[in-house]
Structure 1
Amino acid sequence: MSSPSHSTSAQAVPRPSRWQVPDTLIIIFFVGLLAAALTYLVPAGSFQTQEISYLADGAEKTRTVIDPSSFAYGVDENGERLYNRVGLFEGGGGVGLLNFPFEGLVSGSKWGSAIGVIMFMLVIGGAFGVVMRTGTIDNGILRLIDKTQGNEALFIPVMFSLFSLGGAVFGMGEEAVAFAIIIAPLMIRLGYDGITTVMVTYVATQVGFAASWMNPFSVAVAQGVAGVPVLSGSSLRIALWVGFTLVGIGFTMWYARGVKAKPERSYSFHSDKHFRDQPVTALKDSRWNLGDSLVMLTVLLTLVWVIWGVVTQGWYIPEIASQFFTMGLVAGIIGIAFRLNDMTVNDAADAFKDGAGIMLPAALLVGCAKGILLLLGGADPSEATVLNSILNSAANTIGGLPEVLSAWFMLMFQSVFNFFVTSGSGQAALTMPLMAPLADLVGVSRQVAVLAFQLGDGFTNVIVPTSASLMATLGVCRVDWADWARFSWRFVLLLMALSSVAVVLAQLLGYQ
């Protein structure tokens, strides 16, 4: 019997593919190229602004919104339409194609994206680095797994429901990052993956955020701007919240069961290696003493304290970051005092730096994503920008459609616009002054216009790389955005299909 020829053997060996999914930073850079190209194709326009008043929680509040009839294109000294064309570089604090990452990273204030969110990520990353250095979380996970005895699946519906409720009641979003740091190792130990962690934390908050009946940052603002009684129409929204939350739980459990049965199915299997490679302490060798109890109590009290502050005191990024820094400081003192994992003062300092360092890749993505918005001129309606022109053109297009189609296109428009302005209250202030009178013109209920806004704004937060909270959560769970997109597009498509049905039915049923 003759042996196979050399050429035949060579042909049988598959050649490794040179194609790789682009890194998230590469994807964002190409989006930046697209944004820069738009500045050559779309003239810049602006709106005039006005102050409006509305009632929320029994108190009169004011907000600056755009005058929808005031749009005008900017003109140069020759009377020609103004194009804010982006060059390669721009000095004097301007934004160019090759300096948009830097400008994005240093933009904003301590109250929001980008610099506020980046510092928030670094501080809580460092704080939890100290907590993890004590070993308390790992030992607690081991005992939790031992106590559950096969009932681990209960974690998914319980946690998803709680985080969804947080998103619905007080607009929880950024806070999910801190919880994801704790939950990610637990999920891996239970046989799930980093993507499951993102689903039960950040995604759950956005499901609640989108279908909320009382969120002060989206529903209340949008209804106030649109002239609809604040927090009205809650019965339908509560039903939607229950329905969408159940859909989210079902989708997450379906995926998680598949991963547990065959870990290689995980879209984050390669990046979960970080958690799988952590040394696993046998239950019999793990410790639990007074120091561990005090560290765990510190973490739990901090989480409760932060939730109380957000709900009752209106805390935001600066206050939340300071509370988590305090948590890390107290946990470090306890760890040193009780010699947890032989912890010293220098060990605590190193743990803080290491924890903050883990956040750096995600922090870079947050800054670059904000830079894309700056390439389009920013979100100031009174400045002549490409973004304002896009907003006005979309409103004019929607205005020429039949009622039901107009309602549906409002949902689609809000979903797309959320890529550029991911802030719920910011998007409401920009779009609702246009959408509300437009709804009157085409026969769409203003309540439906608000519903289209909140569903479009909330659900696309699940996938858009310009969402600082999403990128931060993916960062702490070590899930690359490209892998996340490969997984989540089905879920987003399902949410958008259900949202379309909800908006169309609401319009047909005369939702007021």
Structure 2
Amino acid sequence: MSQQQSDDRKPAASRKRQWFREFPDPMVLIFMVLVVVYAMTFFVPAGEFAREVVNGRSRVIPGSFEYLSDIANLHFFRVFVAIPEGMINAAQFLFIVFIAGGLFHILKGTGALENAIGIAAYRMGAGNSIKSRNLIITAGTFIYGFFGMAVGAENNIALVPVGVLIAAAIGCSRLVGVTMAVGGIAIGFALSPINPYTVGVAQSIGELPLFSGWWLRSLMMLTCLATLAAYICLRVVNIEFKDDQPVEMSRKLKDYALSRNNLAVLGIFLAGLVIMLFGVFTRGWYIKEIAGNFLLMAILIGLASGLSANQLVQRMMEGASSVTAGALVIGLAASIQVILSDAHIIDTIVHSLSAIVGDMPVALAAVVASVIQGVINLFIPSGSAQALVTMPILIPLADLVDMSRQLMITAFQVGDGLTNLFTPTAGGILAMLALGRVSYAQWLPVILPIMVPLYAMCWIALIVAHYIGY
């Protein structure tokens, strides 16, 4: 028997495994974080800032932090009670994943989206060369980045499966499509020059013109999107991805065509997206309204494709069941904030971290401020809520250390935004991963390596910005 045959007959468990498959299940991973956070409640003292309402918004009063002495330690059973409470708190994210899963299952059944992407990919030369494949990936990354910049993160949840189909059309794995879509959306949102949720709130607190200093954020966003696109083309396309439900094009690209019914279905889908954007920009729509819009789109698309009421419900249930695991991860992650809130240690963590910046050189302080905001983002995952909590503290601090308010706000945006790409408490990103059917454990080893150059470029930009008087 040859050595090669002997090696082939070795048990699979004894062969060298890919390192990214050694990550624990996402449920295990997040539960471990939950236990660590619970342990923190025993040595991080409870504390609280006083707050005031300004222009209808609650904000922290600088210098008002006080420790609380009457907060009892949490019982260990509270860890398990926090999990269903977290699911209740994150219900809007869970249900948009279920509804969007149903919508795309119905849409997939019509074949309209696959046909449209097949035609577009064929006309762009997909499959003819690595160059054309990389061109499509790069264009897709920037398009998703634009949507993240202009529309926001959670508002683009429905577009993640489109990225998966684009990846299938160019012969790549689901992982490539999800990295292109989720990474592009998250970077576009994180470094958006016109982000109303983070920059808008922070600049209103800092009394700066709305979206001023846009050019630096635009430069960082475009540079980071280009870096992500190169990373996907050079590395992610070559990662061996274990996919229980691989997406493959059903025919050769040249054979795709759109029927009248396909055109009607795509018309309903695009009209639904336009209505969603109109609601977001003019009516203040958020997750609940967007989920309702998705549900209406699913019903109309099902009826247009000839489904009966019973068939429509069955397809919705099948689609929802396919994303159940990912939706439950979102609820489990939300339990982390339940423990932090019950123990009253969020304000203590914010107070302690913000005090670190005071005695540093200004350029270094800007970088450290972004790191601190990233840590805080784990405990306060909402960008606007984080701005309301931290900016009343950091804006006066910026004045004291002779740092421009604009630079402090940009440091806040970098720390808050980029962290969403990997933090387990970012409900919107977890919802996108669930819809793309890439688990959190599969996502981390892929996204973490690219975070190093992304942060490095943004930190260099912050340092240079200080020295040029930004």
User: TM-score, normalising length from structure 1?
Assistant: 0.83
1:315 is matched with 285
Task: Identify the residue that residue 427 of structure 1 maps to in structure 2.
Answer: 386
What residue is the counterpart of 1:306 in the other structure?
A: 276
Is the counterpart of residue 116 in structure 1 residue 65 in structure 2? no
Aligned to 1:162: 143
CA deviation map 1:335-393 (0-9, x unaligned): 11xxxxxx544322211101111221111111111100111116xxxxx7111111111
1:88-132 deviation digits (Å, cap 9, x = unpaired): 22xxxxxx112221110012xxxxxx1111111111211222222
Q: How does 1:48-447 map to 2 (within 5 A)?
A: 48-53=50-55, 62-76=56-70, 82=71, 84-89=72-77, 96-107=78-89, 114-150=90-126, 151-170=132-151, 172-255=152-235, 259=237, 265-267=238-240, 269-271=241-243, 273-276=244-247, 280-281=250-251, 288-336=258-306, 343-377=307-341, 385-447=344-406
8 Å CA contact retained: 2:220, 2:457: no
Structure 1 distance, partners of 2:159, 2:249, is 22
Say whether the 8 Å CA contact 2:97–2:434 is kept in structure 1. Answer: no
Paired amino acid for 1:226 = G
Measured on the aligned residues, the alpha-carbon RMSD in Å equals 2.6
Q: Is the CA contact (8 Å cut-off) linking 1:52 and 1:64 kept in structure 2?
A: yes
Q: CA–CA distance in 1 between the matches of 2:253 and 2:22?
A: 40
Query: Once the two structures are superposed, what CA deviation does each residue of 1:257-277 show, in whole Å capped at 9, x if it has no partner?
Result: xx2xxxxx325x212x4124x
Partner Cα distance (1:20, 1:293) in 2: 44
Structure 1: distance between partners of 2:427 and 2:67: 31
Shift of 1:327: 1.1
What CA distance in whole angstroms lies between the structure 2 residues aligned with 1:421 and 1:480? 22
Aligned partner of 2:68: which letter? G
- Mean alpha-carbon deviation: is it higher for 29-38 or for 13-22? 13-22
CA distance in 2, matches of 1:476, 1:176: 11
Distance 1:68 1:125 in 2: 44
Structure 1 segments (4+ residues) deviating >6 Å: 283-287
| Cα deviation digits, residues 271-324 of structure 1 (max 9, x gap) | 2x4124x68246798774321221111112212221232223322112211221
The 5 Å alignment of 1:12-23 reads 13=10, 16-17=13-14, 20-23=22-25
- Alignment-mate amino acid for residue 133 of structure 1: G
Give, in angstroms, the shift of residue 199 of structure 1: 2.6
Q: Does structure 1 conserve the Cα–Cα contact (< 8 Å) formed by 2:420 and 2:426? A: yes
Q: Which runs of 5+ in 2 are unaligned?
A: 127-131
C-alpha deviation, 1:216, in angstroms: 0.9
Contact 1:133 1:348 in 2 (8 A): no
Q: 1:485 maps to which residue?
A: 444
Specify whether residues 295 and 15 from structure 1 end up closer, same or farther in structure 2 by C-alpha distance, changes over 3 A only. Answer: closer
CA distance, structure 2, for counterparts of residue 40 and residue 497 of structure 1 = 35
Distance verdict in 2 for CA 1:300–1:20, change over 3 Å: same
Cα deviation for residue 253 of structure 1 reads 2.7
Structure 1: 5+ residue stretches without partners: 54-61, 77-81, 90-95, 108-113, 260-264, 337-342, 379-383
SS at match of 2:59: strand
Question: What are the Cα deviations for residues 428-469 of structure 1, in whole angstroms up to 9, with x where unaligned?
Answer: 011111111111222222111101000111111111121111
- Mean Cα displacement is larger for which, 416-425 or 283-292? 283-292
Q: Which residue identity is paired with 1:47?
A: F
Q: Distance in 2 between matches of 1:194 and 1:86?
A: 42
**Aligned pair in 2 of structure 1 residues 15, 169: CA closer, same or farther (>3 Å)?**
closer
Displacement of 1:193? 2.1
Question: Alpha-carbon deviation of 1:32?
Answer: 0.5
Alpha-carbon distance change, 234 to 142 in structure 1, aligned in 2, over 3 angstroms: closer
Tell me the secondary structure at the aligned position of residue 414 of structure 2.
Answer: helix
Greater per-residue helix proportion: 2
Distance change in 2, residues 1:147/1:15 (3 Å): closer
Deviations 1:207-236, CA, capped at 9 Å, x for gaps:
122222221111110111123332222232
- More displaced stretch, 65-74 vs 466-475: 466-475
Structure 1 residues 74 and 489, CA gap change in structure 2 (3 angstroms): same
Cα 1:147/1:230, change in 2 over 3 Å:
closer
